[in-house]
Chains A and B, each alone.
Chain A
Amino acid sequence: MEIKLEALFQDKIDQEIKIEPRDWMPEKYRKTLLRQISQHAHSEIVGMLPEGNWITRAPNLRRKVALLAKVQDEAGHGLYLYSAAETLGMSRDEMFEELHSGKAKYSSIFNYPTLTWADMGAIGWLVDGAAIMNQVPLCRTSYGPYARAMVRVCKEESFHQRQGYEIMLTLSKGTEAQKALAQDALNRWWWPSIMMFGPNDDNSPNSAQSMKWKIKRFSNDELRQKFVDVTVAQTEILGLSIPDKDLKWNEERGHYDFGVIDWEEFFQVVAGNGPCNKQRLKARVDAWENGAWVREAATAYAEKRELRTKNQTEAA
């Protein structure tokens, strides 16, 4: 029975028929999705922190409202994704518990500090750029609610990268000091950005199954290569240089070759040893715990009001 269902399920996937919440699905598909979507949602929420840092310090009012709107969008994206994950049978509170206890992961990139204003440029340009590379194919992912959430995310995301690139452009055309800020930010964010695509394909155990289920459509290395290829030209327009001495055009492959990624650093950050892991998690836990009385009070008030309405109707 189970085997037959699974064959039918794979058949639907192969025919590009979307899977919807109440459809039968293999337990492992459900779990894989739940892990991926919740991780994605957590990344949006934790991702608010490094940029949120700079809202009160934005250098002018135009930049301030743009950054504020961008960070707010990330809250919205987290929300859409949590909603998609909730259709798989886990509540948002349960997902938060997993994040707060350290059981659930989020994108490692957000464990790096934002030291200067140029980091707002570098994050928008590189981190959002890498995220978009990942996210566009997810608009066609096999699970309906996830795909729909991603369509909304991608639509809103389109201003984020432009916002970041414009900051970089203004800095790189600015004073010597500003140009130096831009180059320094590129130096610090480049490698973490290309690590965002995850381990190399031969070292990414779940990839094959995810591709078969069409949760994923491109491999980590394919997406990473695509990102490097488009980013080089963008860097040239800025007049900045990518901190990789091995970066060069490979005529034969039709792609840029690039240097070896320091996976030791990547796995250290994933394991919790990045510069800001503890700080980021603490900020989320604090927000959640300090908000508990607010959430409780709203529930209590809603219950009271419902009771009052009921009593009034009965009395009438």
Chain B
Amino acid sequence: MSTKEWPLWEVFIRAKQGLNHKHVGSLHAADLQMAIENARDVYTRRMEGVSIWVVESKHVHASEPSEQEALFEPANDKIYRHPTFYDLPEELNHM
């Protein structure tokens, strides 16, 4: 009697106007509409959001953890991308 399970969806919530949508968790729903409503009922019961995105989990493509070093470590020594790299006179405020 095993029936097909409803697909899994990833839920993203915008907590208030001006903020990014942030991943909050996942849930199951038969279709898109239901996924948004389920997200509303499951993840915004305590006024956590003003906007919802749902993405079917199978459509999320992720980077490989094994490539973590190759992907992200080369950024470590590019300190010149950060403002603190540059020496400026003290009297120069607000730059």
Which residues of A line the B interface, CB within 8 A? 20, 22-24, 72-73, 76, 79-80, 83, 86, 91-93, 97, 148-149, 152, 156, 289, 292, 295-296, 298-299, 301-302, 305
Contacts and interface: CB of A to CB of B under 8 A. Distances in A.
A22 B8 contact: no
B65 A23 contact: yes
Contacts of A24: 65-66
Main secondary structure of the interface of A (DSSP, over half): helix
Nearest to B57: A86
Contacts of A289: 1
Contact of A92 (B1, B4, B28): B28
B24 to A, nearest CB: 8
B4 A83 contact: no
Interface string B35-72: 00000001001100000000000000010111000000
20 contacts: A22-B64, A23-B65, A24-B66, A83-B8, A83-B25, A83-B27, A91-B5, A93-B2, A93-B5, A97-B2, A148-B25, A152-B24, A156-B46, A289-B1, A296-B4, A299-B3, A299-B4, A299-B6, A301-B30, A305-B31
A92 B65 contact: no
Contacts of B26: 83, 86
B27 A79 contact: yes
Contacts of B2: 93, 97
